[in-house]
Amino acid sequence: MRVTGFPLFTSREIPADAEIISHQLMLRAGLIARLGAGLYTWLPLGLRVLRNVERVVREEMDRIGSLEVLMPAVQPAELWQESGRWEQYGPELLRLKDRHAREFCFGPTHEEVITDLVRREIHSYRQLPVTYYQIQTKFRDEIRPRFGVMRAREFLMKDAYSFHLDQASLEATYRAMHAAYSRIFQRLNLDFRAVRADTGAIGGSVSEEFHVLADSGEDAIAVCRHCNYAANTELAQSRPAPPRQEPQRAAQEQPTPDIRTVAEQAQMLGLTPDRIVKSIVVLADGKPAVLFLAGDDELNLTKARSALDAGEVRLAEPEEAQAATGVPRGFIGPKGLPEELTVRVDERAAAIPNFSSGSNRQDWHWIDLNWGRDAALPERADLRTVRSGEGCPSCAGSLQIKRGIEVGHVFQLGAKYSESMDARVLNEHGDQVPMIMGCYGIGVSRVVAAAIEQNHDERGIIWPTPLAPFQVAIVSINAHRSEAVHNEAERLHEALGAAGLEPLWDDREARPGVKFADMELIGIPHRLVISDRGLSAGTVEYRGRSEPTSRHLPCERVVEFLRDLHQEV
């Protein structure tokens, strides 16, 4: 492709309303153009990247026997009423009425539509299992769309749905889908992790998220440096440290006037925070509970919700804490707390001998308390957020906290939709049983933005080769004045194209600096510079997008060189 026939819409200016780097670079490189809030047109350059993602996703879906369909974007309200989601789904569901005032929505997802299709077409266990997928436009009416295509309202998604007679069959497909997702992100050369995810309100179901690692990611995830363990920090656990072995000392109460924080308490009593048991009052579905954690640990509300079996858990305000315990904030502790209060102790706090904590009276703290002897050991639970450097729960390695961008999700749905929508099959015994379902999504357009968050520098995008809109940039210097340069550029353009290397020849009459900057901004992995000076020595200058220096290749070796590089990938 020649730039004169493939106009670039690059810009040096950083768009004012683009907060994150991928959004800035996608606008500056002319991959997308904004139509309205959360609505973007994919320009020719960006669409080539999007199609690269689509192609890899499609190939891997086909490879595991998933069957491609294309469902309508506009979905009848009746189906969502059947599943109960017409009421449950908030204002993110874009509802609309047709000319006859019948209600529809612009689908944010297709569980209802596919379940309706399958209950009409599939009636016997012999037709199971089956998996359908589509790559299709979705709409989610975000209250504050931002970050470009990362959190757009209209976006491209691969959604897949599997149907099974039983859980074992679901698990087999789930594993195949998991492996396919891993291959997809590997083939796209992205640094990613499959992360155990909180399944939220739907208890018991298994779910994993696929995250592209990037410093700007919205989610914190704990990943092992050695094995595949990765979990959202909402869920992640670490290997318990061996318990401290020491003789119990006699408990003593100490005056601690105006001491309210762990740091103040540690300093005044000459302790490290890991010898302190702090007491946190929360309201679990409105009911107070006291949680004991090590002084240097952070309470994890998702874990607290699970430990207290509550729908919602929040920190109590100081007055609420005092009302529940009768003790001013900063001085609550396990010894002497009213017995009717719900209490839990984190595993790590439960293992601290000779600990310090509040005395349940103002301006006093205990030191050298011991569980069992001085205060009953409450029910133990995992309440803390893991920290970087702690031991991996799956291997002997250690954890690191990384940030990730969710680009995929695999989910064992169970019978949620098939029961509410009465999607049943006859089993081997002639009984009507609800089908068991899985669902699996990839944010196709979001993958493009995530790849940029992970791969860029101050000059622009650095595409992983499989995503690049073009593989090789050919920059001809003064080709309009030098026939030799023009001819060699044309020859290489043709030869590289024939070799399947997708060249983009910047054949504009522009200054070399402008061309270099553009090719770097749009992130083409390989760059060839063709100039009279080089040609007089029979060479062409090559530089990889992230390499600091150039090298000179003999003209006749260029195609072979690039083909070899390409095949390594």
Binding site for a copy of itself (CB under 8 A): 5-7, 9, 33, 35-36, 39-44, 47, 50, 65, 67-76, 91-92, 94, 96-99, 104, 106, 113, 116-117, 120-121, 127, 130, 132, 137, 139, 141, 143, 153-154
For a copy of itself, the closer CB: 142 or 347: 142
Q: N- to C-terminal Cα distance for the chain?
A: 22
**Which parts of 387-511 fold into alpha helices (H)?**
416-420, 444-454, 483-498
Rounded to 10°, the helix 483-498/558-568 angle is: 40
For a copy of itself, the closer CB: 41 or 248: 41
For a copy of itself, the closer CB: 89 or 561: 89
The most distant pair of C-alpha atoms in the chain lies apart, rounded to whole Å, by: 93
For a copy of itself, the closer CB: 96 or 396: 96
Question: What is the C-alpha to C-alpha distance for residues 524 and 13, in angstroms, rounded to an integer?
Answer: 20
Residue 133: CB minimum distance to a copy of itself, A? 10
Q: Are strands 67-68 and 94-97 parallel, antiparallel or unpaired?
A: unpaired
For a copy of itself, the closer CB: 91 or 270: 91
For a copy of itself, the closer CB: 120 or 429: 120
Question: What is the C-alpha to C-alpha distance for residues 110 and 455, in angstroms, rounded to an integer?
Answer: 32
Question: What is the C-alpha to C-alpha distance for residues 137 and 209, in angstroms, rounded to an integer?
Answer: 21
Asked if residues 405 and 217 have their Cβ atoms less than 8 Å apart, the reply is yes
Burial 314-338, CB ≥16 within 10 A → b, else e: eebeeebbbebbebbbbbbbbbebe
Residue 180: CB minimum distance to a copy of itself, A? 16
For a copy of itself, the closer CB: 164 or 384: 164
Question: What is the C-alpha to C-alpha distance for residues 65 and 211, in angstroms, rounded to an integer?
Answer: 24
Q: Which two tokens stand for residue 317?
A: 């305000």
For a copy of itself, the closer CB: 9 or 561: 9
Element (DSSP H or E) covering residue 136: strand 130-139
Question: What is the C-alpha to C-alpha distance for residues 39 and 153, in angstroms, rounded to an integer?
Answer: 6
Residue 466: CB minimum distance to a copy of itself, A? 19
Alpha-carbon distances of 151 from 113, 154, 155, 184, 208, rounded to whole Å: 24, 9, 8, 21, 20
Question: What is the C-alpha to C-alpha distance for residues 514 and 531, in angstroms, rounded to an integer?
Answer: 15
Nearest to 324 by CA among 356, 374, 283, 363: 283
Q: Which two tokens stand for residue 370?
A: 């011991």
**Phi then psi for 192, rounded to 5 degrees?**
-135, 165
For a copy of itself, the closer CB: 11 or 167: 11
Residue 493: CB minimum distance to a copy of itself, A? 15
For a copy of itself, the closer CB: 92 or 317: 92
Question: What is the C-alpha to C-alpha distance for residues 189 and 91, in angstroms, rounded to an integer?
Answer: 36
Q: Which two tokens stand for residue 382?
A: 């995992």
Residue 179: CB minimum distance to a copy of itself, A? 18
Residue 108: CB minimum distance to a copy of itself, A? 13
| 3-state SS, residue 167 | helix
Beta bridge partners, 528, equal: 474, 542
For a copy of itself, the closer CB: 126 or 244: 126
Residue 33: CB minimum distance to a copy of itself, A? 6
In sequence order, the 6+-apart residues with CB closer than 8 A to the CB of 430 are none
For a copy of itself, the closer CB: 59 or 68: 68
Cis peptide before 15 (omega within 30 of 0): no
Question: What is the C-alpha to C-alpha distance for residues 181 and 165, in angstroms, rounded to an integer?
Answer: 23
Question: What is the C-alpha to C-alpha distance for residues 181 and 54, in angstroms, rounded to an integer?
Answer: 13
Residue 428: CB minimum distance to a copy of itself, A? 17
Burial (CB < 10 A; 0-12, 13-18, 19+), residue 386, is buried
For a copy of itself, the closer CB: 96 or 172: 96
